[in-house]
Amino acid sequence: MTVEGIMRAGSPKFLFRLFLRLFPPLLLVAAVLPQVHPPARLEEILKKTGAYCEKLKGVALHFVCQEKIKETINEFKDVVVMTSAGRSIIQYSGALITRKSVKNSFLYDYQMIKKGENLSERRNLLEENGKARDERDVPLKTGRWSSKYLVYGPFGFLSQDWQPHFQYEIVDSERINGKRSVVVRATPREVTAENYCFGRLWIDESDGSVLQIEWEPASIQGFQDKVTTQAGEMKRALSWTVRYDVVKNGIRFPGRQNIKEIYTGSRGRKYTKYEAEYQYLKYKFFTVETEVRYR
């Protein structure tokens, strides 16, 4: 089950779009929100972060890092109660127990290159579940969710081209790694096949750079907030957060990524179906500089 970010570098409609391959397409109904002029503080933040995204768009990139992943996939079964007659019955009470828990770990050498309109990323698998590997140019082996081109995560929400398509509101403020950030929620003005990013963004008010993004489940086309289990229907939630805490030449790169899928039963008990922790370590930068364009 793969979530990918699709972007077209150098295009006016350069975007970061999320979709879920193995879910059927969701028929989205357009919900057009009235355009409201943002308050002065928010307008200034959007101006700065739009300029940051333009800088990100115009930078030639070539870097490598280690991508360290730990994931846990839980499988559940019914709660079984023994009767006095010695027979087992299934109790459908909104409760589950873990039948099997699969834990995986991976270490990749990750490389990304952007030059002009050409963008590529590749991974070499160095280690899998504690055993050395030497597998070149392979896809991620994570069992459920994954992403592409994370460095461009802010673009689909905050670039100058996309800002007119979103409604923004300041919802909080928070310190991340000692830096004060403003938390801004972004909602599409019109939900379309190319514009269904929903989320919260932690923005450095001083320079407009994005310190953290939390995607909401609505960003994933076809995501269902309820799921039918052996113990009946349960609520389903997804937490997907990316922290941008590696900085080079004014550009922020991912430092960590956390994904968690949770079921909630009728009695309020929570069950973690899937959890993954990504760390991006040992960065080596070969190119992080503004591309020179001749006209």
Give me the domains of the chain, ranges plus CATH numbers: 3-21+38-73+104-288 (2.50.20)
Q: Which pTM value belongs to this model?
A: 0.80
45, 203 contact by CB (below 8 A): yes
Q: What are the strands, taking DSSP E only, across the chain?
A: 3-6, 17-20, 59-82, 88-115, 118-128, 131-135, 166-176, 179-188, 199-204, 210-215, 226-229, 232-243, 246-248, 251-253, 256-264, 270-290
pLDDT band with cut points at 50, 70 and 90 for residue 23: very low
175, 15 contact by CB (below 8 A): no
Lowest mean pLDDT among 134-138, 164-168, 193-197: 193-197
Write down the pLDDT at residue 85: 53
Write down the pLDDT at residue 33: 44
Alpha-carbon dihedral sign for residues 26, 19, 174, 57: negative
Write down the pLDDT at residue 209: 97
**Tokens (6 digits) for 41:** 């503080």
- Indicate the DSSP class of residue 19: E
**What mean pLDDT do residues 45-67 have?**
96
Answer with the residue of higher pLDDT: 225 or 174.
Answer: 174
23, 180 contact by CB (below 8 A): no
Per-residue pLDDT at 10 exceeds 80: no
Write down the pLDDT at residue 177: 82
**Tokens (6 digits) for 115:** 């030059």
Residues in the chain, total = 295
Residues 76 and 154: their CA atoms lie apart, in Å, by 36
The model's pLDDT over 210-265, given as tens digits with 9 standing for 90+, comes to: 999 999 888 876 778 888 776 678 888 999 999 999 999 999 999 999 999 998 88
234, 263 contact by CB (below 8 A): yes
